[in-house]
Amino acid sequence: MTALYSTCDNATALCRNDDKSRAIPSLPNSARLPINRCNLPAVVLGSLTFQRHPTALVLDGVAELHRDLFERLDRLKLSHQRAIVFADYITVAFRLEHPEEIGLTDKTRKSRAKATWARILRGWAFDPDGREAAVLKGWVESRFGLTARHHIGSLHDRNHLNEATYYRYEEMRADGLYGTNALESQLDLVYAYSQYEFVRQTAPPHLTLYRGVNRVDAHEVLDDTDGRQRVLLLNNISSFSSDRERAGEFGDYILCVAIPVAKVLFHCTLLPGVWQGEGEYLVIGGAYEVSWATL
């Protein structure tokens, strides 16, 4: 009898997929936490699949707690008007101009009253390995479940080789949060506002952004079998630029990445006056397919 099907498992009648195609590299266990405060688990939102097919990321409880703000923003047509309303709202909601109302005394007011969301973002721009940067990386861990990969030194494996580096990171994170008024909740609201503005301005699902680096191999490489592109595991939060020439000022190589807008925490035009630089974006990490070029 003539066989109805080929014995090859690539036959169309048996399988429509090429079993020789490359598997999509997964997010390593060490790069993610089992729980987060988001609508998607870290293994999904940090994956290469998410980069290719992004969807909205929603932090738990933010829209419900600040419903009045977003209803007010819905009534405004101009983005600069919405920025003014947002800045005023977050200042009042967290009593940023009246630290005594949140329990800060004369002894603590001088050192901690200015520890606000804006101070954290400016601190990151000044030093991505400083105290404010540790707060941001810790916030990403808490909210999105993506662990920090670098802070002053490598945090890849929490073993005896870099145990001191890891504890130093945790110490800086705790120091940055101590005595503040719900600082991570302030960052929650900044992220929610960033995403709200992308929707209002009908932004595309991806932005082409650039990052200057000195060594591509210094990054965690998940896949380098494609000569034109690599899959890198980026730190859980990183800076990018929309200006290729500007990015080239920070390294010998320029990474070009399609960044989902769902992973943009902040950018220079969102709230004018916070950052002085132009074209800067603060991006949540994970696995990314990147291409690169030398200067």
CA atoms of 166 and 30, how far apart (whole Å): 13
Q: 88-107, pLDDT tens digit by residue?
A: 999 999 988 877 766 666 56
pLDDT(34) > 50: yes
Q: 202-261, pLDDT tens digit by residue?
A: 999 999 999 998 877 778 899 987 767 899 999 999 999 999 988 888 888 899 999 999
pLDDT of residue 56: 97
pLDDT(10) > 50: no
pLDDT of residue 180: 86
Mean pLDDT computed over 61-67: 96
Lowest mean pLDDT among 7-11, 243-247, 262-266, 286-290: 7-11
**Both tokens assigned to 82:** 């919405």
Lowest mean pLDDT among 10-14, 59-63, 107-111, 210-214: 10-14
Mean pLDDT computed over 25-45: 94
pLDDT of residue 252: 85
pLDDT of residue 24: 76
Q: 167-217, pLDDT tens digit by residue?
A: 999 999 999 998 888 999 999 999 999 999 999 999 999 999 999 988 777
pLDDT(86) > 70: yes
Q: What phi and psi, each to the nearest 5 degrees, are found at residue 56?
A: -65, 140
**Both tokens assigned to 123:** 């601190």
Q: What phi and psi, each to the nearest 5 degrees, are found at residue 221?
A: -95, 120
Lowest mean pLDDT among 6-15, 76-85, 164-173, 278-287: 6-15
List of residues 6+ apart from 222 with CB closer than 8 A? 25, 28, 48, 231, 232, 233, 287
Q: Using the 8-state DSSP alphabet, how is residue 286 labeled?
A: E
**Both tokens assigned to 241:** 């630029």
Cα angle value 61/39/63 (rounded, 5°): 25
Q: What phi and psi, each to the nearest 5 degrees, are found at residue 54?
A: -75, 160
- Give whole-number Cα distances, 204 to 124, 195, 240, in Å: 26, 12, 17
Mean pLDDT of the chain: 87
Cβ atoms of 238 and 32 closer than 8 Å: no
Radius of gyration of the chain (CA): 22
Q: What phi and psi, each to the nearest 5 degrees, are found at residue 205?
A: -65, -20
Residue-range domain boundaries for the chain = 62-200, 206-294
Q: Using the 8-state DSSP alphabet, how is residue 158 labeled?
A: -
Q: Sorting pLDDT into bands at 50, 70 and 90, what band is 45?
A: very high
**Both tokens assigned to 73:** 């923003």
Predicted structure pTM score: 0.88
* CB under 8 A, 24+ apart: contacts of 268-272: 270/83, 270/193, 270/194, 270/197, 271/83, 271/86, 271/87, 272/80, 272/83
pLDDT of residue 7: 34
Q: Of the candidates 129, 133, 109, which has an alpha carbon nearest to the alpha carbon of residue 119?
A: 133
Q: At what angle do helices 131-144 and 183-200 cross, to 10 degrees?
A: 70
Distance of CA 212 to the CA centre of its chain: 17
**Both tokens assigned to 198:** 């992308």
pLDDT(133) > 80: yes
Q: Where are the alpha helices (DSSP H) in 128-203?
A: 131-144, 163-177, 183-200
pLDDT of residue 3: 37
Query: In this prediction, what percent of the chain has a pLDDT beyond 70?
Result: 85
